[in-house]
Amino acid sequence: MKFSLEGRTYVVMGVANKRSIAWGISKSLHDAGARLIFTYASERFEKPVRELAGTLERDDSLFYECDVTDDEAIKKTFSEIKEDVGVIHGLAHCIAFANREDLKGEFIDTSRDGFLLSQNISAYSLVAVSREAKELMTEGGSIMTMTYLGGERVVENYNVMGVSKASLDMTMRYLANDLGKEGIRVNAISAGPIRTLSAKGVGDFNSILKTIEERAPLRKPVTQEEVGDTAYFLMSDLSRGITGEILHVDSGYNILG
């Protein structure tokens, strides 16, 4: 197949469990023939990630702990990956965090620490990770991140995370400008609401999904698999002319006024 990912290796950051968007992305890349490298925030997630990866047909996946708030941890992770595989062809950044108390009520009440924590994990991490990953993308590459509509417009309760996603969106574009000359593309997928561990207990998720079913042009919420297949497109040469772009995988919801 012309756009198979056979012979290519991709780093996927942010698998927590089988509902994770990063897992949907992993399955799509795997089905296209890719080798996968998984990173997780702490030791706590090593076992579940290894177990999930064990359900894949290939058994050559690699696993590294990488807390993205720690520059040394990021450097160490990518130097180990370099030692173990040499070249990588892409990276999927599927990481975000904000304190629960900052994801309800009014944005104006966000603390300085809460604001900076969210920016650190959800936006700056893309800069730190891309800087190390680019050294391994000697054959060109594709970096992608996950964003949400709440970074373009005010969405109830998304609050501090909306400001982090706005920052992430511009981070993605500045990185695309820097890395284009190295043959590395940088893009984002803006996903519609998907029930994941992160989404658990925040806002009234049922009513958010109901709105999508009633109003989104496709009248249904998106799935991890739909996001995964778009990630495959972004990782493959099919998207070779695209960089600095946000692709909305949201059943068309973002076009509504």
Report, in Å, the least distance between residue 20 CB and ligand NDP: 3
15 binds ligand KAL (CB under 6 A): no
Q: What residues contact 141, with CB distance under 8 A and at least 6 apart?
A: 88, 89, 90, 91, 133, 134, 183, 184, 185
Residues 198-217 interacting with ligand NDP (rule: CB under 6 A): 198-199
Angle of CA points 106, 162, 240, to nearest 5°? 175
Nearest residue (CB) to ligand KAL, 36 versus 49: 49
Q: Which residues contact 40 (CB under 8 A, 6 or more apart)?
A: 15, 16, 46, 49, 63, 65, 66
Measured in whole angstroms, the distance separating CA 199 from the mean position of its chain's CA atoms is 15
* Nearer to ligand KAL (CB atom), residue 77 or residue 198: 198
The verdict on 191 binding ligand NDP (CB under 6 A) reads yes
224-235 burial: b if 16+ Cβ within 10 Å, else e: bebbbbbbbbbb
Does the active-site annotation cover 64? no
Candidate list 158, 174, 232, 253, residue with the active-site label: 158
In a 13 Å sphere around the CA of 66, the CA atoms on its Cβ side amount to 32
Count of residues binding ligand KAL (CB under 6 A)?
20
Minimum Å gap between C-beta 103 and ligand NDP is 11
Rounded to whole angstroms, how far apart are CA atoms 156 and 55? 37
Q: Hey, what are 124's tokens?
A: 């700056």
Choices 56-64, 169-177, 186-194, 210-218; region in contact with ligand NDP by CB under 6 A? 186-194
Nearer to ligand NDP, 15 or 234 (CB): 15
Q: Is 37 in the site for ligand NDP (CB under 6 A)?
A: no
| Shortest distance in whole angstroms from residue 127 CB to ligand NDP | 14
Site string for ligand NDP, 88-127 (x = CB under 6 A): ------xxxx-----------------------x------
CB 116 within 8 A of CB 63: no
End-to-end CA distance of the chain: 40
The nearest distance, CB 241 to ligand KAL, in angstroms, is 28
Which CB atom, from 126 or from 137, has the smaller least distance to ligand NDP? 126
Per CB under 6 A, 16 contacts ligand KAL: yes
Which residue, 14 or 141, is less far from ligand NDP as judged by CB?
A: 14
Let me know: does 25 contact 228? Beta carbons within 8 Å.
Answer: yes
Active site residue 158: yes
* Token duo for residue 170: 């511009």
Kindly list the catalytic residues.
Answer: 148, 158
